[in-house]
Chains A and B, each alone.
Chain A
Amino acid sequence: MATSLARSLMDDHRVTLLDCDVEEPNAHLFIKPQITSTEEVAIPVPGVRQDRCNHCGKCSEVCAFNAIAVLADTVITFPELCHGCGACSHLCPRQAISEIPYRIGSLEKGGAGNLEFAMGKLDIGRAMATPVVRKVKQQSDGSGITLIDASPGTSCPVIEAVNGSDFCLLVTEPTPFGLNDLALAVEAVRRLGIPCGVVINRAGKSDAALEQYCLRENIPVLLKIPLDLKIACLYSEGITLADGLPEWKIRFKQLAERIMELAGERSCNTQR
């Protein structure tokens, strides 16, 4: 969805596409951007000055995440557990802790035509996606249209991706799973105070349950993409629907206009 919208809108608008599905980013497969810069994403973790440390144990006591252990004559830190809250360094009575960067992922930036692109990638084996998402979101300067491709679900990295948006587009499918997950996503988005609309993917004969839900909840169904072999094939080849079937480009433009009516300008968010 995000990539199709990006491709449909970039002719007429300044568009920034942010791939915030940092655990499994794949927007670049469809957009094929020219990557112009790569930088490390790191979180601040404690670095202990052993010469200043008197092993009082205060840092370990205040750490809510067990990321620092104090023994009789040494301090061990566990960066993979650290949330970067700064409590240890702030509260150390001897100012023996400074913060050092710990790499958790990467940020790639680039573009395709007049489309600005950024994607975050969580390193393999690293667990915390949220700080990487945060970094990706910082790449939008708020001008033009920002499209944020979020990951599935409703937990912290998704919330980080969605928060602050003017509109959230929820992509679902007409199965019991789709409806179940949609209801959770709606609750999350409402909690954040963001207006939303629904896109039904693989729509067909069984859309009734979804449509009834949306009607009850007063959520507009903004687009239906039918279950269609041609469309599935395009997707499997890494071609956006907007590029593969030109009549869809028009539909996506109309979708964007409708969204902007419903939400005001600035940014728009798609979530699976």
Chain B
Amino acid sequence: MNIAISASGPTLDSEVNPRFGRCEQFIILDPETMHFTVLANTGQSAGGGAGIATAQHILKEGIGAVLTGNCGPNAHQVLSAAGVKVITGVSGNIRDAVEVYKKDGYSPSGQANVGDHFGMGRGRNR
């Protein structure tokens, strides 16, 4: 199953982006083949509920898991309800992060790891 990684740049050598809802793009990757595409994050410019918009946007890609730095409760709720594993606390190089994921090195987070409205500059948006 594909996984989505919040990305600070468009390649596997880019860094994992610390914010799920407000990152500029996602790397949508098949961990078996390491083939990937870059998906622009249309949710990031939302006034309110960027996490929700972003979550709905990437769910269309048929992913099984999300790797990111931080994910707020609204986005987490949407992703979990869709059966997607949310893995937070991921940082560093995307390629390295994927390797850790493949070796089952990450445990999915049971809940949001940051308070709501963490995303855009750590502020709330309405």
Q: Do chains A and B touch in the complex (CB under 8 A)?
A: yes
A70 to B43, CA, bound (A): 15
**Neighbouring A residues of B55 by C-beta, 8 Å:** 69
The stretch among B5-13, B30-38, B73-81, B100-108 that forms the contact with chain A is B73-81
**Neighbouring A residues of B82 by C-beta, 8 Å:** 71-72
What are 26 A-B contacts defined by CB distance under 8 Å? A60-B56, A65-B49, A65-B126, A66-B46, A66-B48, A66-B49, A66-B50, A66-B52, A66-B53, A67-B52, A69-B55, A69-B56, A69-B78, A70-B56, A71-B78, A71-B82, A72-B82, A76-B77, A76-B78, A76-B81, A78-B74, A81-B48, A81-B52, A127-B124, A127-B126, A128-B126
A76 to B78, CA, bound (A): 7
Cross-interface CB contact of A69 among B47, B52, B124, cutoff 8 Å: B52
Is B59 at the interface (CB under 8 A from chain A)? Answer: yes
**Neighbouring A residues of B77 by C-beta, 8 Å:** 76
Whether the Cβ atoms of B81 and A81 lie closer than 8 Å is no
A76 to B82, CA, bound (A): 11
Of the four ranges (under 10, 10 to 19, 20 to 34, 35 or more), the interface on chain B belongs to: 10 to 19
**Neighbouring B residues of A71 by C-beta, 8 Å:** 59, 78, 81-82
Q: What DSSP secondary structure best describes chain A's contact surface?
A: loop
Whether the Cβ atoms of B49 and A74 lie closer than 8 Å is no
A152 to B55, CA, bound (A): 37
Q: A78-B74, A81-B48 are in contact. List 7 more A-B contacts (CB 8 A).
A: A65-B49, A66-B46, A66-B50, A67-B48, A72-B82, A74-B81, A128-B126
A residues within 8 Å of B by Cβ? Answer: 60, 65-67, 69-72, 74, 76, 78, 81, 127-128
B 106-126 binary contact with A (CB < 8 Å = 1; else 0): 000000000000000000101
A74 to B53, CA, bound (A): 16
A128 to B43, CA, bound (A): 22
A69 to B49, CA, bound (A): 10
**Neighbouring B residues of A72 by C-beta, 8 Å:** 82
B13-53 CB contacts (< 8 Å) to partner A: 43, 46-50, 52-53
**Neighbouring A residues of B49 by C-beta, 8 Å:** 65-67, 78, 81
**Neighbouring B residues of A127 by C-beta, 8 Å:** 124, 126
* Chain B proximity of A128: nearest CB distance (Å): 7
